[in-house]
Structures are given as C-alpha cells and as structure tokens.
Amino acid sequence: MTNVALARTVVGIIGNVISFGLFIAPLPTFIRICKKKTTEDFHPYPYLACMMNCLFWIFYGLPIVHPDSTLVVSINGIGLVLEIVYLSIFFWYTTKKNRGIIALGVMAEAIVLGAIAAITLTCFHTHQKRSMFVGIVCVIFGIIMYGSPLSILKKVVKTKSVEFLPGWLCLAGFLNGITWFTYANLKIFDLYIAIGNGVGGLLGLIQLMVYVHYRWGCGATKGEDVVKQGEVQLQSNKTKGDLLV
C-alpha cells in the first residue's frame, strides 16, 4: 500500500469517527426532549435531511454504483439507524403539525430514492455514469443536510440565544465536512464527495461562528440582557397585579 493510499484509508477512518460524532451530536437534545416530553421549538428538518443524505450515500457506495466505498457505506448505515431513532422520538413528543411534516418527509424521501434508484439502474450501465448521476444527487442532499441547521439561525439572531442551535452539531458538521473533503482529494479524486463536503464544511463554519458569537461573543451578553429584561418585566407585571388585588 502506497503512502497516499494509506493516508486515504487513515483519513477515511478518522472521517468515520467524526461522522459518528456528527450523528450522535443531537443526543443531548433528545435526552432533553425525553425528559420534558416535548420538542419545544426544535425543528425536525435537520433529521429528515440527514436521513435522506445517509440513504443516498449508502446507495452511492454500493458496488453496483461506486465500488470500493466500504467506509462511505458503513458510516452512513450507522447514521441512518440513528436518524430513524431520532425521528421516532421526535414524532412521539412533537406537535400534530410536525408529525405531519415528518410523515410526509419520510414518504417523499422513499419515493425520491426509489425513483433515483430506478433511473440509475435502467438508464446508466457503467460505474462511471452511475457514480456521476448519483454523486450529483448526493451533493445536493449533502448540502441540504449541512445547511439544515440554518433554519434556526433566524430565531438565534432574533432572540440572541443559541438554546435551540446545538453547538456540538455545528462543530461536528464543520469537522466532518473538512475531513471528508480531505479524503476526497487523496489518491483517487472524488469530485462528488469533495464538492458536497467542501460546501458542507463552509456551512458548518458559518453555523459555528454564529453559535460562538451568541454563546460566548459580544452577542452573548445581549442575549442574557434580553432574558433578564423579560424576567424583570414579568416580575414588574406580577407586582402590579398584586397591588391591584
């Protein structure tokens, strides 16, 4: 085994470890959900996006599409199982509206995956063409997965609080993108893994910067002030009510 091939294998193993970290990063969130028996203001979109991403990368790594991709299949298989568990918990404790979103999302993902698989196997007859077609789809859904936490950033900026933006998820997404981008550039250049994870690393960095800013930066004090002002206002209203009584 050449030095480059060895480096690729090592980086791939590291990528598997970091990806596993990405997949278990929401664990504290779901422990909180189970304890409170409510999903509060958490969104199901990141978990739906991540499940779809895992499904497509598993398909991409199959020998009939892109041979010699064992590391890609193994970690995304683990990720798929974890996302199914997360979505099941979310479905149990969330609102009727979110249950509908999850149900429709899972159905849509199954239909899209079936359609992509049918097109791949019937219209493309070489590994190169199948890898190109499925790879493009993987890039699209990989970017959606990495960008899914952006859906909560509006709330973070408005409230100046990162309560519903999991910090470990942002960090894991950033490290995962960088690691797999490196993997894609070793020995045999993989354009699709490189693009999807390169953009993913950038999106993860943006989310991480926002998190740090409102968690420990100058935005953190403002966020605390907003909470304190709300508490003071609530206490003031309560006092007034007591006086009226």
Q: What is the tens place of the pLDDT at every residue in 33-46?
A: 999 999 987 888 88
Judged against a pLDDT cut of 60, whether residue 153 lies above it is answered with yes
Nearest to 194 by CA among 8, 24, 3, 45: 8
Measured CA to CA, the distance from residue 19 to residue 76 in angstroms comes to 8
Q: Is this structure's pTM higher than 0.85?
A: no
Confidence of residue 220 (pLDDT cuts 50, 70, 90): low
187 or 196, which is more confident: 196
Query: Which bin fits 165, alpha (ψ -120 to 50), beta or left (φ > 0)?
Result: beta
211 or 228, which is more confident: 211
Size (the chain), residues: 245
Where helices occur in 25-68 by DSSP H, the ranges are 27-36, 45-61
